[in-house]
């Protein structure tokens, strides 16, 4: 399954409550992603919470873009990526 880096901009900052509402929101994203065969692997968020860089496994960029729309998430750029492990070279 291809892996993608998804770049997003949140002009007002990304806010995920650390309570049951946040848990429900994340579970909803996971469930809607699964409908298209998309798996959210991990995300990194800038200190100001205005940019995120998310790793996804999925069948295509179109599937990731479609699930982002269902999840009301912005998408600036989708790039297919491969793992480069610096410890491989030891």
Structure tokens at 10: 């949140």
CATH number of 3-89: 3.30.70.3090
pLDDT band at 86 (very low <50, low <70, confident <90, very high): confident
Residue 61's nearest CA partner among 45, 43, 49, 79 is 79
Residue 4's nearest CA partner among 50, 46, 67, 49 is 67
Question: Exposure of 45 by Cβ count < 10 A (0-12 exposed, 13-18 middle, 19+ buried)?
Answer: middle
Listed in sequence order, the residues at least 6 apart from 16 whose beta carbon sits closer than 8 Å to its beta carbon are 22, 25, 26
pLDDT over 90 at 90, yes or no:
no
Taking only the tens place, the pLDDT of each residue in 29-54 is: 999 999 999 999 999 999 999 999 99
């Amino acid at each position: 399954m291809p892996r993608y880096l998804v770049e997003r901009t949140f002009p007002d900052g990304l806010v995920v409550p650390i309570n049951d509402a946040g848990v429900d929101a994340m579970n909803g994203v996971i469930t809607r992603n699964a409908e298209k065969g998309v798996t959210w692997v991990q995300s990194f968020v800038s200190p100001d919470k205005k940019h995120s860089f998310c790793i996804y496994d999925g069948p295509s960029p179109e599937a990731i873009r479609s699930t982002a729309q269902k999840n009301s998430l912005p998408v600036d750029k989708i790039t297919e990526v491969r793992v480069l492990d610096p410890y491989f070279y030891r």
